[in-house]
Structure 1
Amino acid sequence: MKTALITGANKSIGFETARQLLEKGYYVYLGSRNLEKGEEAVSQLKSEGFTNLEAIAIDVDDLHSIKTARQILGEKIASLDVLINNAGISGGFPQTASEADIQTFRQVFETNFFGIIGMTQSFLDLLRQSPEPRIVNVTSGLGSLTLHSDPNWKYYHVKGACYTSSKAALNAYTIVLAYELRDTPFKVNAVDPGYTATDFNHHSGPGTVSDAAKRVVKAATFEADGPTGQFFSDDNNPETGLSPW
């Protein structure tokens, strides 16, 4: 049975991603900053008939928490097939480049960028033991520098300085990581789940968590001949499913 670890899996897109992977027969570890909330999410899924899942405490802002989670998981499994770096924050809006507090920048980058690096590096050894390891970095279309430079883009005027910068940095990290692992069975990709109605955006998005999770799950379950080092975004380009960096 394949295994998957998802950060920020106690609610919204992360929670639905867990559900869809369970439906595909994966054993899923739901990472949650608050273990109690993670256990509540597990209980809800178990009430739906799923059994192959556990909650694990992971605060991606805290490297010690990440290392502890790695130790705990390493005592349970010998290999990890899928790592989904889903946990993220917006930092609140508006965020202007000229006035946003530098502490907000630091906070957003801690979660959206440094936290993902910490997770990836800490769990890379377990992923290497999988015959077909997959890493999915949940990003945003707002992280595309190309689109942000295009006045005709539908979200051109949505310029959250802290959030946009953190996702652009994450995209860059994804490119470099995929390049380093290009001659291995790894598939490393960035996925924009789309403008989805969640508490992240006060439920203002038109998309559903179900559709958003499908995009993430698709990249998490690529076959051996699947793509790597790509930025997937049906929201920005429904024809190809790809977004410019």
Structure 2
Amino acid sequence: MKTALVTGSNKGIGFEISKKLLKEGYHVLVGARDESRGKNAITELAKYGPVDLIKIDYSDSESIKEAVKRVSNEYKELNLLVNNAGIPGPLIKRPSWEFTKEELLETYTVDFLGPFELSKGLLPILIENHGKIVNVSIPIEPMPFPNMNPFAYLTGKAPLNIMTKSWGISIDEIALPIQIFAVMPGAVSTDLNNHTTGKGVKMPEEAAEWIVGLALDEKNHNGQVINFEGKLADYKNLV
């Protein structure tokens, strides 16, 4: 059975992505840092199809290694990895230079190094199964935000976008049977923003439907960073 690992899928967008994939006939591996919350999510998601819990913490390399080992040994049909889990860092209004190194490092580790390490570890099985890696990201151009300046979030996600494009180039050069691309769903009402609602803010179900639609279509999105309106991020003018 086609199998997907969705990190951070015990809540929010990840939970809705998992639900949608189950409805599409996938066996879903629920990646969760908190085992108790992961089990609760599985109880709910099991109504829609086969699910299993994979305990994984992007901030802990040993946790990632254990997850890679288990998935590679027990779920050899894995053909989709959704790097959804992430943290925004402090969402408060203050000058960027007032963020601490510790705040930036924590966000960078979870939002980039964790997905990088997990993707690298699962790359062999994904290549074997002609799979896809989907990175859930954000636009990285700094701009004024009401009541906050998400400097840590931007600096954590920027390398994830660059990884997507760089890996995409290497995949094309070597002609590997795999795709990697990133999706930027925009403002979504989740616990990261205290479930903010209003104009332009999407519900997790809407974001998940769009993401899964891209993940399962038959188009080549390799190396693309795609925003919700379909526009592709292009950093060539920065070179």
Superposed pair shares fold, TM > 0.5:
yes
Looking at structure 2, the residues matched to 96 and 168 of structure 1 have their Cα atoms a distance apart, in angstroms, of 19
State yes or no: 1:214 paired with 2:196.
no
- Pick from 49, 52, 75 the counterpart of residue 51 of structure 1: 49
| CA distance, structure 2, for counterparts of residue 127 and residue 90 of structure 1 | 28
Looking at structure 1, the residues matched to 7 and 183 of structure 2 have their Cα atoms a distance apart, in angstroms, of 15
Q: Give, in angstroms, the shift of residue 77 of structure 1.
A: 2.1
State whether residues 86 and 138 of structure 1, in contact with CA within 8 Å, keep that contact through their aligned partners in structure 2: yes
Unaligned runs of 5+ in 1: 149-155
Shift of 1:227: 2.0
Seen in structure 2, the aligned counterparts of structure 1 residues 113 and 96 have a Cα distance that, compared at 3 Å, is: farther
State the SS of the aligned residue for 1:228.
coil
Q: Say if 2:154 is the partner of 1:160.
A: no
DSSP-derived class of the 2:5 partner: strand
Identity %: 31
Residue 85 of structure 1: aligned partner: 83
Q: In the TM superposition, what whole-angstrom CA distance separates every residue of 1:56-103 from its partner, at most 9, and x where no partner exists? A: 100111111011111222221223200000010011222532110110
- 1:187 is displaced (CA, Å) by 1.4
Measured after TM superposition, the shift of residue 171 of structure 1 is 0.5
Q: Take 1:187 and 1:56, find their aligned partners in 2: how far apart are those partners?
A: 23
Instruction: Pick from 196, 203, 221 the counterpart of residue 227 of structure 1.
Output: 221
Give the aligned residue type for 2:31: G
Deviation at 1:120, TM superposition (A): 0.7
Give the TM-score normalised by structure 1: 0.87
Q: Which residue of 2 aligns with 1:192?
A: 184
Distance (whole Å) between structure 1 residues aligned to residue 95 and residue 77 of structure 2:
43
CA contact (8 A) 2:6 2:83 kept: yes
Does structure 1 retain, via aligned residues, the 8 Å contact 2:23–2:49? no
Q: Residue 12 of structure 1 corresponds to which residue in structure 2? A: 12
SS in 2 for 1:191: strand
Q: How many residues align?
A: 226
Tell me how far apart the structure 1 counterparts of residues 15 and 153 of structure 2 sit (CA, whole Å). Answer: 22
| Cα separation, 2, equivalents of 1:163 and 1:241 | 21
CA positional deviation for 1:215: 2.3
Matched, 1:126 2:125: yes
C-alpha contact 2:25 2:49 (8 A) present in aligned 1: no
Structure 1, 170-179 or 93-102: larger mean CA deviation = 93-102
CA distance in 1, matches of 2:95, 2:207: 27
Q: Distance in 2 between matches of 1:211 and 1:243?
A: 21
The letter for the 2-side match of 1:212 is: A
| Aligned amino acid, residue 24 of structure 1 | E
TM-score when normalising by structure 2: 0.89
| CA–CA separation in structure 2 for the residues paired with 1:233 and 1:90 | 18
SS of structure 2 residue aligned to 1:220? helix
2 CA distance for matches of 1:58 and 1:101? 26
The answer as to 2:60 corresponding to 1:62 is yes
**Counterpart-to-counterpart distance in 1, 2:90 and 2:79:** 33
CA deviation after TM superposition for structure 1 residue 140, in Å: 0.8
Give, in angstroms, the shift of residue 43 of structure 1: 0.1
Aligned to 1:152: none
8 A Cα contact 1:6 1:85, kept in partner: yes
Are the counterparts in 2 of residues 79 and 129 from structure 1 also a CA contact under 8 Å?
A: no
Q: CA deviation at 1:186?
A: 1.2
Q: 2:134 aligns with which of 117, 120, 136?
A: 136
Query: Distance between the aligned counterparts of 2:121 and 2:105, measured in 1?
Result: 21
Task: Note the residue ranges of structure 2 that are not aligned, 5 or more in a row.
Answer: none
